[in-house]
Chain A
Amino acid sequence: MSCILTLMTFIPLVGMITILALPKNNDNLVRWTASVFTAIPLALAVWLYMNFDTANPGLQFVQQVDWIKAYNIQYYVGIDGLSVPMVLLTALLSFLCVVASWGIDKGVKGYYAMFLFLETGMIGVFCALDFFLFFVYWEIMLLPMYFLIGIWGGKNKVYAAIKFFLYTLFGSVLMLLVMLAMYIYSEPHTFNLIELAKMHAFVGKELVLFGWAIPMDKLFWVGLFIGFAIKVPIWPFHTWLPWAHVEAPTAVSVILAGVLLKMGTYGILRMNYSILPDATMWASNFMMILGVINVIYGACCAMAQKDLKKLVAYSSVSHMGYVIMGMASFTTAGVNGAVLQMFNHGTSTAMMFLLVGVLYDRAHHRWIVKPDGSRGFGGIASTVPVYTGYMVIALFASLGLPGLSGFISEALVFLGAFSNPRFQVYVVIGSIGIVLGAGYLLWMFMRVFLGPLNEEYANLEDMTWREKFTLIPLAILVIVLGVYPMPVLNLMSSTIAQLLTLFNKV
């Protein structure tokens, strides 16, 4: 079943076409169809998980077909330990988001079609091993996202969508340039990421630009890094994120935070780390500093937010900082922690966004403190106990409470980064983020859920079964991985060990 990745990638596309062919007015049919077509990749993902050989650090389920032979472009897909957690996460979140979007009743067909298209792009990005193919999927993803935010978003949706689109496109352009340059300067010309990684073709060469001779690998590294940094987002390229998250509909926020952000870090690991290890080593201090800035800056900004969703958005910025820190540490625990954090942040932040969405569906606003200074909610823990229960799980997972998944990855990141003598100072500074993280989340929790009941929300409806259905799997994952993270760690550790050998030679 070597075509499983292709299947997973394109079944949602088939779903999209099917949905477009469905009759216009039967919204429920569209919803069910979309669920089915996201459930299939999920089932395949489970199969994938079962059959993934954790001991093998190399690529698995590889499929390699010539695509455009003249330029040596291949349809080359496969997964290793870096990508398999992401593929699983994508399949899971896509399915849950389809269910979570049940309440959307404006342009249902278009919405789901776009959504499925998005899933194709996402899974494709994680599976692609040809730079060209990767880039194609990367751009494919952009378009449905643009429409999903721009059409089904909130008040400032158009601004947010355009901002997201242009910003990301800017990154893509850099990536494209680097891609082409890599193709040109590799011998033989290739887009194949694995081949490029084996070649070490760019070390010691120089590229003359405007009369300056610039070390080629460092130039490429910076170009790629900015491209991915925008997606992560790494400070100071993060400002699209609050806008996009706040304006996007719930499910899209989930995907945005749960999957799209990870593409940036995944890309850095897949491209910068594998292909340009020397330049990565050269830039590691810089990355670490950015990571620390992300952690603290994001947390501080989150503390000042009055909009619940914006708070969660900035918390994503902060949490992605841990990923960068872990990656930059070059230690077993650090990089494992970073990839695990990618997965765990995907689940916990998805829960947060889903929960915020649930609240927004009921109350039609998300203010912690209303712009006029009055409190937005308050004391709703007594009216919606079940909801509060889920929120507590998500919240504590997010702030890194031991026993829930967020802790494991954060702790691994810190342990790992601290074991590298170069970065100990940064770790100490970065650890402030742990305190701040608890601060803004608990403060939010206090203002929204606790205290005297705001009578306006005395009759808030508690969770429906559909909403519970979307949250229960995530909650289970969060708890199980908090107690015993090996099921996910196992997947990646051998691949990461192999990746790290690159840096020991330096």
Chain B
Amino acid sequence: MGSHSAAFAHSLQGWTAGLPILGATPLWIWAFLSALLVIFLLALPFGGIATYVERKVAADIQDRIGPNRVGPIGLLQFFADAVKMLAKEDFIPRGADKFLYNLAPVLVVVGACGAFAVLPLAKALVGADLNIGIFYLVAVTTLIAPGMLLGSWGSQNKWSLLGGLRGAAQIVSYEIPVALSILPVVLISGTLQIGSIVEQQGWVWQGEMMKNYHFWNMFHNPFTMFSVFILFVGGLAETNRIPFDLPEAESELVSGFNTEFSGMRFGLYALGEFCDVFVMSAMVTALYLGGWQVPFLNLENMWVTLPSGLIAIIHFSMFMAKTLFVVFIVMWLRWTLPRLRVDQLMGFCWKGLMPIAFFNVIGTALWMWIFHGKSMMQLVMGQ
């Protein structure tokens, strides 16, 4: 294991080895570049497309048409939006704390995009497969909280401040159930490394390898079935999505922490938020839904040997399909559920999710102890 760590950077270096200049470029630059590549090839388009999709989904759910003017079926709408944002006047309200006002969106985007580094997009396509992967993911996304807080303070607007405070409190609180519902997975796979976690969720029909693979973690034991929902709900709250969108709460706080932001800074906020949704969904996917694993198939161990490029593409599409499905659920929920009150929100976290999450951790631990780490699937198959 681990041979594929930073595989992408390595392969970049490998591919360019023969070329002048590029060939002499040190690995760390490649690593840096690869990170940039991920962000620009993945995060930015995703952020853009997501706005469009969200509007389309909303329209479908509300039985309207949605964006339909720019491009075929409004497909280019997000380009128009981007252009609009970039072209907008760079405006800082008077009385705002300039330093904080500028700093805040950056923190948010760094927090959200930093997480992309460890997402296992495919078996051979990982920014950096850290051995503290999940831990890193949790750590880096915490940067979002001070970002929101500072931005709201910096804009010298009481609605913003209220929104920012709510947001920070919410993120800090919901981090606990989220972390607790990550723990069962860690217990199951015995590692923090996302790559190997995903690896273990594979499926092997027979052979010696069988005992190391136990299908999706979600179906590992009864407790993880609950865990995945807690992770999802907690993630929903961490990303300030409906029904937990209290920091933005249009009807109460105008637009919450980003009221005073416009133009590219608002764009960054929006980007950060969408990236966050994506990261959260990817986390759910990687931890519980088998990541890039194709259900019941082990592409590397089939009767025909597939080219590695094809495998990577299939893995990647599998991963994206699962992730985007989760993203779709998030959007779906947005138009389905009403917003919670603040006290309900906190109560739900501390009195609802927390105890269940604890229970899941203990339950999973007991399961691991009793069944020697076998998943339900393995038990059913008699392995």
A and B touch in the complex (CB under 8 A): no
* A interface list, Cβ under 8 A from B: none
